[in-house]
Amino acid sequence: MSKGLVSRRRTAPWMHRWSRPLIGGVAILGALNTAYLTITRFTNTETACPTGGCEQVLSSPYATVFGLPLALFGLVAYISMAIFAFAPLAIQGDQQKELRSKLENWTWLLLFAGSTAMLIFSGYLISIMVTKFVMPFGVKAICYYCIASAVFALSLFILTLLGRAWDDVGQLFFTGIIVGMVTLVGTLAIFAPVGKPVADAYNIASSSGQVFFTIKDTSGESERQLARHLKQTGAKMYSAYWCPHCYQQKKLFGVEALNDLPAVECASDGKNNQTAVCQEVAARAEKQLGQGFGFPTWEINGKFYSGQAALQELADRSGYTGPRSFKNTL
């Protein structure tokens, strides 16, 4: 090794020497975060969270893009950033210097473009979380996984900016503007339909008309008869429009059956809410169940049942004797 090379390495700022390992490490943390969320979405399991906000946000329409979990796209982005960061480090030897130099230059541009896009996209999602969930429902609606992802995206952007000596700052700024504008326009276009009613579907919305969930599944004769039976026998499903488990429960019945489903809206800002009734019922339900009143809670034949249930279970609990060829299952 020449003395000149040793001298250059000694004088290089520590940030420049360690920037790629740091960027790759943060990207791996982001990949683990989004991988966990992706798995929970595909397996239909709840995320571990100190509050209900994680599940509330992650089950909302904002958490799905093109019919796939948004976390899946985040996972791909973080894995790509890790590859961009580590790829040049895998090239060793004096004969590969030129190749490594070219790869470093290209991947630095990709790291900058990727971190810029991720920062803007994460910033938009955080603004959605704050305005659509935290402001209406309080701190209990905070999604900590979303905050973690935004912190990772910001860290990637800062590390990329400080990780090397950029030769043309003006060109870098211009590239950032272009990437930022494309990302913002694309993000707004993707989420533009969210919160708006969908024709020929059952829209679950707040009193202000903001749609949280849309059900397009059709009902079979068994679902329709079960819904009518529950209504006729005085059963009640206590729910809230923002509740993902209530959405899943209603989804089992399908669009046509929901017109007869005896659902009681408990959210104070829900459409046609019966908050006072829910408050009175909550005390009785908590006493009988020995736990807090959550959504959904079923009241069937004077007995309370907590959580969503399979249609077969609801049929058994209510004494339903009609057809049971249910189309949808948990």
pLDDT in tens, 296-309: 999 999 999 999 99
DSSP symbol at 201? S
Report the C-alpha gap between 245 and 312 in whole angstroms: 17
Query: Identity (one letter) of the amino acid at 164?
Result: R
Domain ranges for the chain, please list them: 3-191, 202-318
Can you tell me which residue has the tokens 């960061």? 85
Report the C-alpha gap between 107 and 92 in whole angstroms: 16
* pLDDT-derived band at 90, boundaries 50, 70, 90: confident
Handedness of CA 280, 267, 51, 56 (dihedral sign): positive
pLDDT of 1 above 60: no
Report the C-alpha gap between 27 and 211 in whole angstroms: 34
3-state secondary structure of 92: coil
Percent of the chain with pLDDT over 70: 95
Handedness of CA 22, 27, 33, 35 (dihedral sign): negative
205: phi > 0 → left, psi -120 to 50 → alpha, else beta; which? beta
Write out the two tokens for 19. Answer: 């920037």
End-to-end Cα spacing for the chain: 64
Q: Mean pLDDT, the chain, as a whole number?
A: 90
* pLDDT-derived band at 95, boundaries 50, 70, 90: low
328: Cβ contacts below 8 Å, ≥ 6 apart: 217, 223, 251, 252, 253, 254, 311
235: phi > 0 → left, psi -120 to 50 → alpha, else beta; which? beta
Q: For residue 207, what pLDDT is reported? A: 85
Percent of the chain with pLDDT over 90: 60
Which fold, 202-318? Glutaredoxin (3.40.30)
Query: Identity (one letter) of the amino acid at 239?
Result: S
Closest CA to 85 of 105, 64, 111: 111
Query: 61, 125 in Cβ contact below 8 A?
Result: no
Query: 230, 314 in Cβ contact below 8 A?
Result: yes
In this prediction the pTM is 0.77
Report the C-alpha gap between 206 and 269 in whole angstroms: 6
3-state secondary structure of 296: coil
Q: For residue 54, what pLDDT is reported? A: 82
In whole angstroms, what separates CA 70 from the centre of its chain?
6
The CATH number of 3-191, from 3.30.420.40, 3.40.50.2300, 3.30.460.10, 1.20.1440.130, is 1.20.1440.130
Rg (Cα) of the chain, in Å, rounded? 26
Query: 190, 65 in Cβ contact below 8 A?
Result: yes
How many Cα atoms occupy the beta-carbon half-sphere of 243 within 13 Å? 24
Report the C-alpha gap between 261 and 60 in whole angstroms: 22
Vertex 297 angle, CA 278 and 292, to 5°: 75
Report the C-alpha gap between 90 and 84 in whole angstroms: 11
Buried/exposed code over 7-45 (b: 16+ C-beta within 10 A; e: otherwise) = eeeeeeeeeeeebbebbbbbbbbbbebbbebbebbeeee
* pLDDT-derived band at 118, boundaries 50, 70, 90: very high
Query: pLDDT tens digits, residue range 31-77?
Result: 999 999 999 988 878 788 887 668 788 888 888 888 899 999 999 99
3-state secondary structure of 151: helix
Q: For residue 137, what pLDDT is reported? A: 81
